[in-house]
Structure 1
Amino acid sequence: MSQTLLYEGCGERYRLGRVEGETPLPAAWSMHGTAFHLAAEGIERSGRRMAQEEAVQIFSDEYAVLVNKALDQEPDTTRWLSVSGSGAEDIERRYVLGQEQTRQYWEWTQEHEPAIWSTSDDQPGLELGFEVEIGGVVVRGFIDQVIVEPDGSARVRDLKTGSTKSRFQLETYGVAVQLVHGITVNKGDWYLAKKGGLSRPVDLSAVTAELVGERFATMDEGVKAGKFEAKPGFLCRFCDVKHKCSFFR
């Protein structure tokens, strides 16, 4: 699914990263997101019995490991991607920000107690992996959370530390859960760490595998045909392969 979004966003970025295998520039925002997801998963798998500071420590430890590994590969932080400030400043800023967001998530989940759905073999719907054919393309991914609705249907939820939200991502998750597990999915949403709460729900009741599959099929056909359209613009500054791109100025 992420490959389709990448291809649609910029074919040249897809080609450089996925086809040519160019080494991407590091970005602290990626490590921030990964560490936050691990902490949130830990909270939920503990049945929300984990102490708040234990969850914060999970974030801190994972973030440090990921950053140090990336620094080993690219020690020059002036080459790191950053939304604001230098790479070094962003690393420090996100360490503190991620800790606070983990505390906020712990508080939010204690207050709202969302009901985590479980599979038929009693596996909780947390970082739920799937592999399913949609539009003639094998799609793989992980769903952050699957929530049980009062009417017995499921809601797919994606945890976001950044600002970018993809309706297509939720649509794909909804279709995947229905195809693999046979449970109705009518809604999806995002937990937005920046605000410490949920987005408005997204109606997925009319989304079908055929509708979602068209985008996967289009991407697959384009890649096989060697069509990689570059889309230079403002977002190039955040591209992790811009240092290898002839379109970047």
Structure 2
Amino acid sequence: MSTKEFTGKVTFVTGAGTGIGRATALAFAQQGASVVVSGHHEENIRETARLIEEQGGRAIAVTCDVRRSEQVQAALQQTIDTFGRLDYACNNAGIDHGPEKMADVAEDEWDRILDTNLRGVFLCMKYEIPLILKQGGAIVNIASGAGVRGFPGAAYVASKHGVVGLTKSAALEYATTNLRINAVCPGITDTPMMARVTGGTEEGYQKVIDQEPIGRMGKPEELAAAVLWQCSDAASFVVGQIMVVDGAQTV
């Protein structure tokens, strides 16, 4: 990928306040893109935007709950009002849940997970697609290794399998246009979400790391690199693909 390949382009990143979303927003900015930093927690997204501007990039922070159609539409309208176009989107916003077995998952917890992880991606794509089609570009959805195989955690796994299916279907529907749609499936990645899973203890971290054949967690920047590659000209023949980046966890 050439230096500053995304100069003059505009990227919309959800869940950009921390972790993979923040790393992706920063990586796009480093390659010249103007970035809309979207997320539910205003303090976090403002910090991401500050980091981008500190490095000489252009960014705006836009509060958005991806479960709410009106907020998604408003965030994308602010994107157009500010930058005049949309070229790329990374639909990263997602949440996890506790270790309950399926029969013990509360119905409202099921709804909470599916509304954010699957409905949120659907709503973002629904309103991103017409904007990107105007000049062409790419969408990358963040699924999970839990989207390509089974793991304990029924609601989360179901939501991420749904993101994979949604990505494949949309990619086929728009394959003959100037819009490419793909997904990245992270493995265990060192993010604030993973810190909650481990309990923040050394023992908890080691238990998680033991699940990775590579012997370590992934870095958010490694996932961001996969997203940028899928949006780059080098991936112009890559459509509807589910790229697993997980240190061989799902092999």
- Is the TM-score greater than 0.5? no
Say which one has the larger Rg: 1
TM-score in terms of structure 1 length: 0.30
TM-score in terms of structure 2 length: 0.30
Relative contact order higher in (CA < 8 Å, ≥ 6 apart): 1
